[in-house]
Amino acid sequence: MRITLEQSGGFAGLTLRRTLDTTALTPDEAAVVEALLAQADLFGLPEAAPAQRRGFDMQRYRLTAEDGERSRTLHLHDGSVPDAVRPLLAFLGRLRPDAR
């Protein structure tokens, strides 16, 4: 499975992109990511959730999961991230951003 997180907004307005391919991980690492994905239930969530609050410094997230022929992209904002997705975002947020 390939997972891409694009995070933008915030005070500086930066956009960071992180990509993770579970086939490149050790079996133990892949198991951790698969557990986070199962908890998040990305394929069962609506593609977009309305922001709970407004503000120029809000973070925006575009989270894409590709698994064979299945693909799902979620568009989230601070305040609209489901609790079940937060651990996955935190895990992906610790990865080194992709080189541009």
Q: Which helix (H) or strand (E) holds 19?
A: strand 14-21
Question: Within the chain, what is the greatest distance between any pair of CA atoms?
Answer: 41
The pLDDT assigned to 2 comes to: 93
Beta bridge partners of 74: 63
Please give the tally of structural domains in the chain. 1
pLDDT for 31-42, tens place per residue? 999 899 999 998
Residue 29 lies in a domain: yes
Phi–psi pair at 95, nearest 5 degrees: -75, 155
- Assign 3-state DSSP to the chain and report helix, strand, coil percentages, each to 5: 30, 35, 40
Establish if 72 belongs to a structural domain.
yes
Please indicate, yes or no, if residue 98 is contained in any of the structural domains: no
Q: What is the pLDDT of residue 96?
A: 84
Per residue in 74-99, pLDDT (tens digit) is 998 887 889 999 999 999 988 888 85
- Percent of the chain predicted with pLDDT > 90: 43
DSSP label of 66: E
Task: Tell me the pLDDT of the chain averaged across its residues.
Answer: 85
What is the residue range of 38's domain? 2-93
